[in-house]
Amino acid sequence: MTMDLGIEGRRALVCAASRGLGRACAFSLARNGADLVINGRDRVVLEETADAIRAETGVAVATVAGDISEAAVQAAMVDAAPEPDILVNNNAGPPPRDFREIDRDAFLEGVVMNMATPVEMIGRVVDGMARRGFGRIVNITSISVKMPVPRLDLSSGARAGLTAFVAGIAPAVAASNVTINNLLPGYFDTARLRSNIAAGARAEGVELAAFTAQHMASVPAQRFGDPAEFGEACAFLCSAQAGYITGQNLLMDGGRHRSVW
């Protein structure tokens, strides 16, 4: 018997949802009956994802191709569902590199991608959610908000900035049944993780299989996460039952980050 999350017929915007963790979140929301507007940069992959969701779940799925950091793409997302109930913020991060290689333009681009863009999307939908008395906003950030990840300093800084920014917003809308939470993934088995590991192996001049095993061994669970697990956590945070959870950072890392709090 499955748990009814109370979101059947709700409308969800899921950014950067054609691949990886965004895709997993879109599938989980759709399996619980939410209609979707999904976004991705690669139109072909985006449409393939939409078709797969429709075929499996039967929900309505609209697509908006493009870079979610662009104002026109953001506007198109909201135009496709003018009264959304759910927003899942996600975006690609800057590529791994030594901080000495980051110039001013790259720095600003990273902040736009991983801080300004999700804040802009929240600004487009949060007041309507509050007026209607229901809203669920989930930001996909990173374990790097809590612990350093080598060569991901720019992504870490921008996502930490987002975390602090939305911490001030969440209490202001809580009384209207609008929640804002962050999901912090560790090592999940996605194409981005595999690409980052491959880049790290090349940078350190080590064999890929050994470097991959080293990363996996650093996780107490002794495995990479399944994106479907992440998607289900996202769907729960978007549920009717999660209305008393807001302003929180849910770390999903298989126990990698060791901390009492």
pLDDT, mean of residues 191-219: 92
Residue 250: pLDDT band (50, 70, 90) is very high
Both structure tokens of 240:
């009717």
Cα 107 from Cα 99, distance rounded (Å): 10
What was the pLDDT predicted at 205?
94
Over the stretch 9-20, which tens digit does the pLDDT of each residue have? 999 999 999 999
Are the beta carbons of 112 and 171 closer than 8 angstroms? no
Helical H segments across the chain, by residue range = 20-31, 43-57, 71-80, 104-111, 117-132, 153-173, 191-204, 208-217, 227-237
Go through the domains of the chain in sequence order and give each one's CATH number. 11-186+227-248 (3.40.50.720), 191-224 (no CATH)
Query: Using CA atoms, how far apart are residues 229 and 79, in angstroms rounded to an integer?
Result: 30
- Asked whether residue 131 carries a pLDDT value surpassing 60, the answer given is yes
Q: What angle separates helix 43-57 from helix 20-31, to the nearest 10 degrees? A: 30
Residue 53's alpha-carbon distances to 38, 238, 239, in angstroms, are 11, 18, 19
Q: pLDDT for 177-189, tens place per residue?
A: 999 999 999 999 9
- CB neighbourhood size of 83 (10 A): 11
- Mean pLDDT for all residues in the chain: 95
Question: In the prediction, which pLDDT does 92 show?
Answer: 86
Site of tokens 């963790």: 21
Task: Average the pLDDT over 156-173 and give the result.
Answer: 95
The pTM of this model reads: 0.95
In the chain, pLDDT over 70 holds for what percent of residues?
100
Residues 72 and 16: their CA atoms lie apart, in Å, by: 15
d(CA 220, CA 261): 17
Question: pLDDT tier at 150 (50, 70, 90 boundaries)?
Answer: confident
The per-residue pLDDT for 1 is: 55
Residues 6+ apart with CB under 8 A from 46: 17, 18, 38, 39, 40, 63, 65
The SS3 of residue 96 is coil
pLDDT of residue 149: 80
The predicted-structure confidence for 41-88, as pLDDT tens digits, reads as follows 999 999 999 999 999 999 999 999 999 999 999 999 999 999 999 999
